């Protein structure tokens, strides 16, 4: 189904999406998107959507299942509290991407803004994954409880954003390149990759390249892993 979204409000578009899903539609092409927010909010379906144009904030917020391909840049709060599905962005993304996401994957071709992947979680067989092509702003993976963030640091040899993984108590951040210890949040440790990491990165980067329509291969040995020293950072704050 091809949808011309010119002059439609986000509410109208979401209504069309919900109806299309009810009618068994499997693929949507959404043209002329221009700043409409909250698209696919709370939608539980395996529908595939191609978005042409720049969507507004909160794309895929609380959604569970859709596969969304965005052929443009994107604004803030992509995949807020998302439970499952995939968002592929052929451009840059704004702040707070993947806040509290519990499952699914978000792939970004370019950069993301501040506070990406805050408080990511995992649940049973769900492990949320964010892969960023170029760079991420400060507070990457703050409060991370679980899940995985990969930054490919293209056009960059050193990852130099501040406060990486502040308050992190689970999950992992993989960086391709170096990082100074002073950029890390308290309690975050640089670790070598183990076998699970190598297998995981190989699998996820293959999927990333395929979604980005490239044959690019990455040297897994050039990655470092950041993980919290302690899964209970708040343990010794209190006296009973």
Partner 1 sequence: MSKIIPEFIVKKNEDKCINCKVCVRQCSEEVYKYFEDFDLIRIYDDKCVGCHRCDLMCPTDALTITKNNSQYKENSHWDNYTIKSIKKQAETGGMILTGSGNDKPYTSYWDRILLDASQVTNPAIDPIREPMELRTYLGKKSDKLSIKEENGEIFLETELSPQLKIETPIMFSAMSYGSISLNTCESLASAASKLGTFYNTGEGGLHKKLYKYGKNTIGQVASGRFGVHTDYLNACAAIEIKIGQGAKPGIGGHLPGEKVTVEISQTRMMPPGTDAISPAPHHDIYSIEDLKQLIALIKEATDYEKPVLVKIAAVHNSAAIASGIARAGADVIVIDGFRGGTGAAPSVIRDNTGIPIEVALAVIDQRLRDESIRNDVSIVAAGGIRSSADAVKAIALGADAVYIGTAALVAMGCTLCQKCYKGKCNWGLTTQDPVLTRRLNPAIGSQNLVNLVNSWSLEIKEIIGSMGINAIEALRGNRYRLRGIGLSDVESDILGIEHAGM
Contact positions vs partner 1 (CB under 8 A): 10-11, 14, 18, 37-38, 41-44, 57-58, 61-64, 76-77, 80-81, 83, 96, 99-100, 102, 115, 118-119, 121-123, 142-143, 145-146, 167, 169-170, 231-240
Interatomic CA distance for residues 3 and 16, integer angstroms = 9
* Residue with Cβ nearer partner 1 (100 or 153): 100
User: Which residue number, 76 or 197, has a Cβ lying nearer to partner 1?
Assistant: 76
Q: How many residues does the chain have?
A: 240
Cα separation values, 34 from 11, 28, 75, 82, 91, Å? 14, 16, 11, 22, 15
CA distance 46 to 65: 5
Least distance (Å) between residue 127 CB and partner 1: 10
Greatest C-alpha distance within the chain: 61
C-alpha–C-alpha distance, residues 10 and 30, integer Å: 12
Nearer to partner 1, 47 or 153 (CB): 47
Query: 68: which 2 tokens?
Result: 């969304």
For residue 100, the minimal CB distance to partner 1 (Å) is 4
Q: Which is nearer to partner 1, 57 or 152 (CB)?
A: 57
Closest distance of CB 28 from partner 1, Å: 17
């Amino acid at each position: 189904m091809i949808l011309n979204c010119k002059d439609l409000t986000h509410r109208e578009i979401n209504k069309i999406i919900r109806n299309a899903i009810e009618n068994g539609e499997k693929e949507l092409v959404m043209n002329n998107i221009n700043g409409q927010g909250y698209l696919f909010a709370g939608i539980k379906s395996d529908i595939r959507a191609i978005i042409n144009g720049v969507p507004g904030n909160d794309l895929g917020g609380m959604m569970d299942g859709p596969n969304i391909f965005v052929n443009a840049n994107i604004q803030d709060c992509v995949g807020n509290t998302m439970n499952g599905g995939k968002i592929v962005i052929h451009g840059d993304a704004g702040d707070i991407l993947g806040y509290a996401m519990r499952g699914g994957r978000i792939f970004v071709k370019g950069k993301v803004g501040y506070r990406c992947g805050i408080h990511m979680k995992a649940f049973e067989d769900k492990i949320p994954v964010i892969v960023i092509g170029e760079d991420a702003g400060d507070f990457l993976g703050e409060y991370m409880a679980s899940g995985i963030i990969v930054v490919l640091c293209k056009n960059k040899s050193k990852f130099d954003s501040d406060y990486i993984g502040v308050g992190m108590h689970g999950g992992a951040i993989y960086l391709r390149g170096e990082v100074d210890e002073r950029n890390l949040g308290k309690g975050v440790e640089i670790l070598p990759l183990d076998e699970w990491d190598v297998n995981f990165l190989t699998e996820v980067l293959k999927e990333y390249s395929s979604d980005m329509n490239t044959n690019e291969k990455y040297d897994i040995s050039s990655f470092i892993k950041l993980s919290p020293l302690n899964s209970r950072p708040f343990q010794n704050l209190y006296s009973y």
